[in-house]
A and B are shown apart, each in its own frame.
Chain A
Amino acid sequence: MSASSATESPHVELSHVRMAFGTREVLRDLSCRFPRDRISVILGGSGTGKSTLLRTVGGLVRPQSGSVMVDGEDITKLSESDLYRVRKKLGMMFQQGALLDSLTVFDNLAFPLREHTRLDRRAIADAVHVCVEAVGLQNVDGLLPGQLSGGMVKRVALARAIIGEPVILLCDEPFSGLDPISARRIESLLIDINKNRGVTLIVVSHSIPSTMRMADHVVVLLSDGVVEGSPADLQQSTDPRIIAFLSDGADPSVTAPDDLPGTTARGAIPARAERAAAPK
């Protein structure tokens, strides 16, 4: 399997990372890379460590061994205060949004700016409104996160992740729990952020179809190892594990962005139905 862009050094690279929680080993001797300015998607069945991998890149968990290079720095060697410095280049969109639930949408978005910049009130308000519009929302300033729908929460979370103008954007299952229309909207927003703002994207996803559509580089976590490549590489792969994964590896309990209305989202016939009916 060839890496998609072997010409430039990867933005993020993991080498022989081992991540275990107590006795439970989640990542075992994992090595992979995420190319600069591209959209990378992490795929894998449930429990293979996708979220853990993402959190390792963000420095939220520290691996027992191995190195994690982020923009040239090995973050496993950094102290907590140095990590804060590196994180200013990162933005993270959490699965449940992780918005501060006691603050309004406006205050949530303004928060990173108030903390780390010296912008005055007008500049902050402008930046907030630009990001709110960028994710396709309006008139949400005074609402609390509890008053937003699932799709809106995700979009506000995305806005918050990009308002600090990060170089790398980490997204933990941005499509989960959304209806197909909202999920598609998020997908195009992410693509837009990558193309127009030049941000490297690392996305954890359950959905194979959307991955095939948007990814430049795919990292598949299997129970016995990891496989990397472009979407085309994977679809033409002869590796039996990949074939098995692509045919029914999509988690049936999650809605894929292009489930047709009428198809039961939960537990129905997964990938086969998608591929047969996929309108392109």
Chain B
Amino acid sequence: MSRSPVRDFVVGLFVLAGLAAIAYLSINVGGLSYNGPGGLTLYASFDQTGGLKPRAPVVISGVKVGQIAGIELGTDYRARATLDLDAKLALPTDTTASIQTAGLLGDRYVALQLGGEEKTLKSGDEISFTESAVILERLIGKLVHNAPGPNDTTE
């Protein structure tokens, strides 16, 4: 049990390396961040979420600006998503939220397209313009049958 300071140093390095690996995985890969809810909370209702999940990213021009905090069924039986966004964003009141797919097999996410209005959305506001998710099967069904889609609210 020789008390070697070199050994202790090596053990210290090992522990640091391990903790660094854990930190890298948590923050860079897993997306852990220590700021709380972004600050700007908006709501958007969709006819079809197409599998949009909580914690899915919200992007503007391809850059992540927040995430979906939750999705629930609204009083109008549409899907109401809560968007948790960066507080510094200034979004015009005619901003559009659309559900997109990342790649062919990818996950759903929400993309925001800015409008032109002067006034900006405040925390708690509703995004009026939304585009629901495209369901692949219906699209193919339309092509195949070359007929209008089903009579209830369409995509």
Contact = CB atoms under 8 A, between A and B. Distances in A.
A–B proximity contact (CB within 8 A): yes
Interface of A: 102-103, 107
Chain A contact residues: over half helix, strand or loop, or mixed? loop
A242 to B, nearest CB: 49
Contacts of B1: 102-103, 107
Contacts of A102: 1
Interface of B: 1
B3 to A, nearest CB: 10
Contacts of A107: 1
Q: Would you call the interface of chain B mostly helix, strand, loop, or mixed?
A: loop
Nearest to A111: B1
Nearest to A107: B1
A107 B2 CA distance: 10
A104 to B, nearest CB: 8
Nearest to A100: B1
B7 to A, nearest CB: 14
3 contacts: A102-B1, A103-B1, A107-B1
Nearest to B2: A104
B96 to A, nearest CB: 71
A102 B1 CA distance: 7
A113 to B, nearest CB: 15
A223 to B, nearest CB: 45
A102 B2 CA distance: 9
B130 to A, nearest CB: 70
A29 B63 CA distance: 86
A215 B139 CA distance: 104
A171 to B, nearest CB: 27
A103 B1 CA distance: 6
Contacts of A103: 1
A107 B1 CA distance: 9
Nearest to A103: B1
Q: Which 3 pairs between the two chains have the least Cβ-Cβ distance?
A: A103-B1, A102-B1, A107-B1
A237 B88 CA distance: 105
A100 to B, nearest CB: 9
B2 to A, nearest CB: 8
A142 B1 CA distance: 12
A169 B98 CA distance: 86
A23 B20 CA distance: 56
A103 B2 CA distance: 8
B95 to A, nearest CB: 69
B140 to A, nearest CB: 71
A212 B5 CA distance: 54
A33 to B, nearest CB: 41
B114 to A, nearest CB: 69
